[in-house]
Amino acid sequence: MNDVLANENVKRLPGDVRVPGDRPQTSGVLHLGAGAFHRAHQAVYTDDTDWGITVAAPSSRGVIDALAAQDGLFTVATLGPEGADMRVIGSIVDTLHVATERERALDLVAAETTHVVTLTVTEKAYRDPRGVPGLLAEGLARRAARHGAPLTVLCCDNLPDNGRTTRAAVEPLLDGADKTGATRAWAEEHVTFPSSMVDRIVPASTPATYERALAGLGVADLAAVEAEPFTQWVIEDDFAGPRPDWDATFTDDVAGWERLKLRTLNGVHSTLAYLGALADVETVSETLALPGAEDFARWLIAEQIAPSLTPPDGQDTVAYGESVLERFANPGIRHRCVQIAMDGSQKLPQRLFATIADLAEAGVDLDLIALPLAAWTRFCAGRSDSGAELPLDDPLRDVIRRNLAAAGSDPAARVDAILGLDLVPAAVADHHQLRRAAAKWLRELDRHGVATTLEHL
């Protein structure tokens, strides 16, 4: 038997591993971003249909090389309380490395056989016109000029109004794509950008992921991922042409779901990530087990997050929050705090500052929600409570560090240094009670550390 997962050995894998049936021959979906989340989410939904995906990696090629060596096959290990359940996914039929195969990438955006382009390229990618938005604009110009068949561009990143955000990143670049404005006019008629809310906890794969795959399959799988049992996809029903028959929820109102998920799940996730990293704790589930942490998360949801939003019909923010905390506690999932902590400047506007802005407008007391702000401020300085170094992996790293250095050691000045960043809305930056409360929490964290602060809340 071949020693890596491949078409030729997939039918001979151990009987408890679910394997794909007939694999699709062509890909109507072009997906940008080959990360673990895509493989455990959209690729799985697509595996339940008869469509195929060409997965494109914008820059780093490790994953697509592994996929290419395995005929596109990879395993998702679903880790629940009762152990792992393994499934081989066969929906990826081709791979592409954008940095070295740009022409092919543009041709695929333009191809008449491509009906949907899906995206998981992280929050910050939408701000770089030379990156993914530029690629899409150029590909759309080619499509308009060649045959003009409609296309759906479906963002699956954790951004509010993610369809509109994608459109806003791409549309201005269309003007530069030709001299007559024809591409832009065509795109207005033939390209849609539905919003979607995606949800599944999928930590970055580690050596343990590959060892688990090898043990379960009997062959190596260097594109394996692991994920929690829960999965959800809510999509705005606005497709320009054909689409796979995904088992997702299609609706006209994604905004309510996005807000609920970004503020509750992702907001509490980031909060726990900064607290856990400062407390020298490795994972979210271990952070939640710190004395006082779960109670704090519960208060935060009930007293700050719930009053900031109207959940979608039939949903209750506190009950949703309870199910989120249960998912975070899953001991099978080792989701590292420092992974979630990265790119805070790109994540916190929709996870934390939007909540604060709405609470401020409603005149709600902001004491509890000032604690995650204080935790991020302390995290950005780069030292945990024990003095260990913490990575500040963030596109605004330099300006954050410069502002903090200028602020010195005074907690109020450090909070102001963070609130002075452009990404913070004025309603948040100028809020006196928030600033006072955050400075108070930062003083507590400086003096006593996260563990003691949480325990004595």
List residues near ligand CS2 by CB under 6 A: 158, 199-201, 266, 269, 339-340, 347
Q: CB 206: neighbour CB atoms within 10 A?
A: 12
2 sits in the region (left: phi over 0; alpha: psi -120 to 50; else beta) called beta
Sign of CA dihedral 425, 430, 431, 436: positive
Residue closer to ligand CS2 (CB basis): 97 or 351 = 351
First to last CA, the chain: 58
Residue closer to ligand CS2 (CB basis): 27 or 271 = 271
Residue closer to ligand CS2 (CB basis): 30 or 234 = 234
CB of 176 to ligand CS2, least distance (A): 32
φ and ψ at residue 127, rounded to 5 degrees: -95, -5
CB of 12 to ligand CS2, least distance (A): 34
Residue closer to ligand CS2 (CB basis): 201 or 418 = 201
Closest CA to 429 of 349, 364, 363, 350: 349
CB 162 within 8 A of CB 196: yes
CB of 58 to ligand CS2, least distance (A): 18
CB of 34 to ligand CS2, least distance (A): 15
CB 267 within 8 A of CB 304: no
- In the three-class reduction of DSSP (H, G, I as helix; E, B as strand; rest coil), residue 446 is classed as helix
CB of 208 to ligand CS2, least distance (A): 18
Name the β-bridge partners of 251. 236
Sole residue written with tokens 């949480």 = 454
Which structure tokens are listed for 364? Answer: 């709600």
- 304-340 burial, b for 16+ CB within 10 Å, e for fewer? bbbebbebbeeeebeebbeebbebbebebbbbbbbeb
CA 142 remoteness from chain centre? 29
CB of 309 to ligand CS2, least distance (A): 17
Residue closer to ligand CS2 (CB basis): 196 or 251 = 196
- Read out DSSP for 6-33? -HHHHTTS-TTSB--SSPPSS-SEEEE-
CB of 438 to ligand CS2, least distance (A): 21
Residue closer to ligand CS2 (CB basis): 184 or 200 = 200
Residue closer to ligand CS2 (CB basis): 41 or 167 = 41
What type of residue is 25? Q
CB of 343 to ligand CS2, least distance (A): 8
